[in-house]
Amino acid sequence: MKKDDCLITKGYDVSDTPTLNSRLLGRLRLRHLQLIDVLGRTGNLHRAADEMNITQPAATKILQDVEEVLGTPLFKRSSRGMEPTEIGKVVGESAERILSENGRLAQNVASLKEGGYGQISVGTIMATTPDLLPKVIARLKQRHALMTVNLVTGTSDALLQSLERGDLDIVLGRLTQTRHRAVFSILPLANEELWAFTSSQTLQKLGDKLSIAKLVEWPWVLQPKSSPLRNMLDRIFADAGYSRLTNVVETTSVYATLQLVRAAGMIACLPRSIVAEGIARGDYVRIPLQIPNVMENYGLITRRDENMPNNVREFTLAVQEVTSGVTHARKRKSTLTPA
């Protein structure tokens, strides 16, 4: 009986890591990883086969092959379809990262063959988009006009998930979990000044005697609860003795936020860099509240213990050049009081 046959009949008992690693190098293929990734997303072998443009028997054979290579079952059938085992979840996460890296490799090679400078995928929080990021991109393009820059905006928590999966090369944002300090490296840059604002009509409705209690009851448009800015606002209101904001619309879209403030009479809180021009034009009115930013400085975040690709190094250099000489905002007392 062959060794792999013994692994199957004895319940995939594999304890020899070097032997398993040798089998992975010799037999595991991207096609295997593609099926694991698609099956993990769809939970259905038939749909996975359709997405990969193969027959269901072929998909079944690929799954059997990869489970034989790894020496363990990766999925189990249930009333809800094919569900990954605990090992299957780990393999699925690795498959997603490897396939993402493979896709970026293909794009970089294609760009370089056409005379370009490859590409970089950058995730950024909204605070950097009006001022810092345009200057960085301009500087980068002056040096490497044919470099393709893919920009993704969002909240730090969502961007770091993409960075960990390998969908992004670098993030301008904040660490949001304790474990992130073991997963990522961060080069701190600066902090934002936060402004609460609304429309002039809404401010008139709030009246001259503005109180925090009245603001708590008014409708707000905020980032999702998982974001650092939202967590900070909830904590500050709670520390000030008021219940958390409950009359809320949640969105990560700056455009939607500004439109809801303008047209729906809501209150929002965003970095000064985003709303300063609109307030200067009279589109919005700043609410006289001091909102101390107790969040950690945002910075350049990369995956820890990975060699930095040339394009990431060039982007990092451009950020450092643009931000050099800028004084970091001081942390102010964690209170919320009318200005």
CATH code, domain carrying 53:
1.10.10.10
CATH number at residue 183: 3.40.190.10
A 10 A CB-CB count for 291 gives: 19
Statement to judge: residues 78 and 125 lie in one domain: no
Whether residue 339 is contained in a domain is answered as no
d(CA 37, CA 292): 43
Statement to judge: residues 48 and 77 lie in one domain: yes
- Last residue within a domain, chosen from 98, 127, 155: 98
Statement to judge: residues 233 and 88 lie in one domain: no
Whether residue 201 is contained in a domain is answered as yes
Statement to judge: residues 59 and 133 lie in one domain: no
Q: How far are the Cα atoms of 15, 62, 89, 102, 175 from residue 96, in angstroms, in the given order?
A: 25, 17, 11, 10, 22
Whether residue 107 is contained in a domain is answered as no
Statement to judge: residues 7 and 92 lie in one domain: yes
Statement to judge: residues 279 and 204 lie in one domain: yes
Q: How far are the Cα atoms of 50, 72, 217, 322 from residue 309, in angstroms, in the given order?
A: 35, 35, 49, 20
> What confidence score (pLDDT) does residue 88 get?
87
Tens place of pLDDT per residue across the chain (339 aa)? 343 333 333 344 444 566 777 777 767 788 888 888 989 888 888 898 898 899 989 989 989 888 888 888 999 888 778 888 998 888 888 888 888 778 777 776 776 666 556 789 999 998 888 889 999 999 999 988 888 899 999 999 999 999 998 889 999 999 988 899 999 999 999 888 899 999 999 999 888 788 888 888 899 999 998 888 888 888 888 888 887 788 999 998 999 999 999 999 999 999 998 999 999 999 999 998 878 787 888 999 999 988 888 889 999 999 999 988 443 333 333 333 343
326 CB-near residues (< 8 Å, 6+ apart): 190
Whether residue 104 is contained in a domain is answered as no
Statement to judge: residues 168 and 286 lie in one domain: no
Q: Is the dihedral of CA 204, 209, 212, 213 positive or negative?
A: negative
Residue with tokens 């979990």: 177
Statement to judge: residues 32 and 179 lie in one domain: no
Whether residue 135 is contained in a domain is answered as yes
Statement to judge: residues 125 and 270 lie in one domain: no
Whether residue 333 is contained in a domain is answered as no
Structural domains counted in the chain: 3
Statement to judge: residues 184 and 275 lie in one domain: no
Statement to judge: residues 21 and 78 lie in one domain: yes
Q: Which domain holds residue 128?
A: 116-191+296-323
Statement to judge: residues 270 and 137 lie in one domain: no
Question: Contact 289/215 with Cβ under 8 angstroms?
Answer: yes
Whether residue 337 is contained in a domain is answered as no
Whether residue 247 is contained in a domain is answered as yes
Residue 46: CA count within 13 A, CB half-sphere: 1
Helix, strand, or coil (residue 323): helix
